[in-house]
Amino acid sequence: MRCAKHLPAFIGGGQTVCAYMPIGSEPGSAELVDSLLRRGVRVLLPVVRHDEAGLRVPMQWGEYHPGGLVEAPFGLREPAEPWLPAAAIASATVVLVPALAGRQDRGCGWGAAPGFYDRSLPLAAPTARLVAVVRDDELVEPAARPNRTTCG
């Protein structure tokens, strides 16, 4: 995967990265996540849930171990318990975010279902690098803008 070739430029061994395991047509791959582990990176994957009222809440995080994922709501595969609290995202130096489109000039990404990342990204460290993972053909011109945005 082309994205994995760019990771060494800004992700080093010993760092923590919040990543995701793609589902459906999301960009990314299990190989991308596994390549981080091979480089000595601690990988946290999101755990997505609603609260008792059915509202989206910030994601919890689980440490990724190959073969340790379980089926989860929304068709996701996520780490088995125990989970880390939502604030664990603050330990990440890089957060990889699935996106359907992105702009190179502003670093914005647009997703299919805003909500969980919108509630979680504000908890990331101010110095964390937020990376919208898109395919080459999903980069849009600065004037173009899909209907839903996950950035300001």
Give the tens place of pLDDT for each residue, 106-123.
444 444 445 788 889 999
Q: What is the pLDDT of residue 100?
A: 61
CB-count exposure of residue 122 (10 Å: 0-12, 13-18, 19+): exposed
CA distance 69 to 93: 23
Task: Identify the weakest region by mean pLDDT among 3-17, 22-36, 95-109.
Answer: 95-109
Q: What is the pLDDT of residue 5?
A: 67
pLDDT at 145 over 80: no
Average pLDDT, stretch 78-90?
96
Residue 132: strand pairing partners:
97
Q: Which amino acid is at 42?
A: R
Helix (H) or strand (E) holding 15: none
Average pLDDT, stretch 83-104?
84
Q: What is the pLDDT of residue 56?
A: 87
User: How confident is residue 1, by pLDDT bands cut at 50, 70 and 90?
Assistant: very low
Among 54-58, 70-74, 81-85, the range of highest mean pLDDT: 81-85
The model's pTM is 0.81
Q: Which amino acid is at 151?
A: C
Q: Which amino acid is at 141?
A: E
CA distance 16 to 113: 25
